[in-house]
Amino acid sequence: MSGYVLKVPSQLAAKIQAHGMETYPHECCGAILGRDVDGRREVLGLLALANRRDDSPRNRFEVTPGDVQLAEKTAAEKKLELIGWYHSHPDASARPSEFDREHAWPWYSYIIVSVQSGMPREMSSWRLQDDRAAYDPEVIESPAQSPRI
């Protein structure tokens, strides 16, 4: 067990799913903003990005240097950290592809949502090992918002 845990509030998980439905049958992608205190990582905001891979938008998620700059700037403005990236897998499982692994960096959290026939299915999160050989799974905890009466 890797022991990684990522807290994703349910309304932000729903936002990732909605983005995946919106761009289906193409991939959606975005930055994950939040905090990482003593290894306790929490998602507190999202930044939707355009998938610029026009050649194969169904299965090619790639973050550009411009995306990193924009995401870091946005995180700083909100007094948060850039803690990872999310994208969707249209009509595929929520496991990272070989392409994903080759284009990922260690430390970040990578959330993947599977979108089957336009409907969001499972969501998973991953961290690339330091030697970049493989991913470790990260457990997603989705505390529900306390109801407002």
Which residues here bind Zn ion, judged by CB under 5 A?
61, 97, 100
Residue with smaller CB distance to Zn ion, 74 or 97 = 97
User: Which has the closest alpha carbon to 23: 121, 140, 125, 120?
Assistant: 120
**What tokens were used for 78?**
């909100």
Residue 125's Cβ-count burial label (10 Å; 0-12, 13-18, 19+) is buried
CB of 86 to Zn ion, least distance (A): 10
Q: How far apart are CA 142 and CA 98, in angstroms?
A: 27
Least separation in angstroms between CB 148 and Zn ion: 35
Phi, psi of 21 (to 5 degrees): -70, -40
Helix (H, G, I), strand (E, B) or coil at 35: strand
Q: Which is nearer to Zn ion, 35 or 103 (CB)?
A: 103
Task: Tell me the residue nearest to Zn ion as measured from the CB.
Answer: 100
Residue 7 or 53 with smaller CB distance to Zn ion: 53
Minimal distance, residue 141 CB to Zn ion, in Å: 22
Nearest residue (CB) to Zn ion, 8 versus 94: 94
CB of 149 to Zn ion, least distance (A): 40
